[in-house]
Amino acid sequence: MLSKNGIKLIKSLSQKKFRDQEGLFTVEGEKMVAEALASDFEVVSVYRTSEIGEEAMSRITALSSPSPALAVVRIPAPEAFVPTAGELVLALDSLRDPGNLGTIIRLADWFGIRTVLASRDTVDIYNPKVVQATMGAIFRVRFIYCDLPETLSLCRAAGLPVYGTFLDGENIYGSALSADGVIVMGSESNGISPAVEALVDRRLYIPPYPASGTGSESLNVAIATAITCSEFRRR
């Protein structure tokens, strides 16, 4: 049975302050719950509509339509990042949209990028919308909030080149790209911040087609991330 206090606790996890306070987050859907159970994350409890009933599930879901299953999962302890030669890393500078963050984590998983760094003002990875958008990749990609300029300085000192996407960069399709390094993606509205830009070694640009076209002003950050990661991995 799911008590009133249990329902209140689970509902509260839709808000960051309570996720931080309790050290817990939720995942919903049979696939996501299965991914959580198969991971190294600690699954605290699992609830299924077939066991608790539709009314109870509708009271604890963070989705517009309740899923057949919901799991409460413990937030793992924060990790420190140590730059490693030969590793390709993503770094996110002040991303605010949950859907974009979730999609980028899913992209990192697809392209075999095991670590994603993020500035501390990036949207919370355990936001229910982010979690669902990862489609389970949240359990396979290491995600680290950090002081981004400080961490990028460490990466450069370790010999990892730092790449960033800009409107005045060199054409990515003709650029020489290394197998390792850090790829920085900027925020949806402001791009890469000046403090982070100062640490970028190589400025890249994804050109439109045709080059003289007057279409969209820019690409969605998740789409730009997909194109950039694809170019690095195909070399």
Q: In angstroms, rounded to a whole number, what is the distance separating the alpha carbons of residues 83 and 22? A: 31
What CATH number is given for 4-74 in this structure? 3.30.1330.30
Domain map (residue ranges) of the chain: 4-74, 88-234
- To 10 degrees, the CA torsion angle through 227, 232, 234, 235? 140
In the sheet with 88-92, reading across from the earlier edge strand, the strands are: 142-146, 115-119, 88-92, 181-185, 162-171, 202-205
> In the prediction, which pLDDT does 215 show?
65
What percent of the chain clears pLDDT 70, i.e. is strictly above it? 99
Specify the pairing of strand 69-74 against strand 43-48. Answer: antiparallel
With both helix axes pointing from N to C terminus, report the angle between 98-110 and 221-234 in degrees, rounded to the nearest 10: 10
pTM over 0.85: yes
Q: In angstroms, rounded to a whole number, what is the distance separating the alpha carbons of residues 58 and 157? A: 51
Summarised one tens digit per residue, pLDDT across range 96-143 is 999 999 999 999 999 999 999 999 999 999 999 999 999 999 999 999
Query: Span 18-36, mean pLDDT?
Result: 97
Summarised one tens digit per residue, pLDDT across range 186-223 is 998 899 999 999 999 999 999 988 777 666 777 899 99
Phi and psi at 44, nearest 5°, equal: -80, -40
Class of domain 88-234: alpha beta
Does residue 183 register a pLDDT over 80? yes
Q: In angstroms, rounded to a whole number, what is the distance separating the alpha carbons of residues 187 and 194? A: 12
Summarised one tens digit per residue, pLDDT across range 32-64 is 999 999 999 999 999 999 999 999 999 999 988
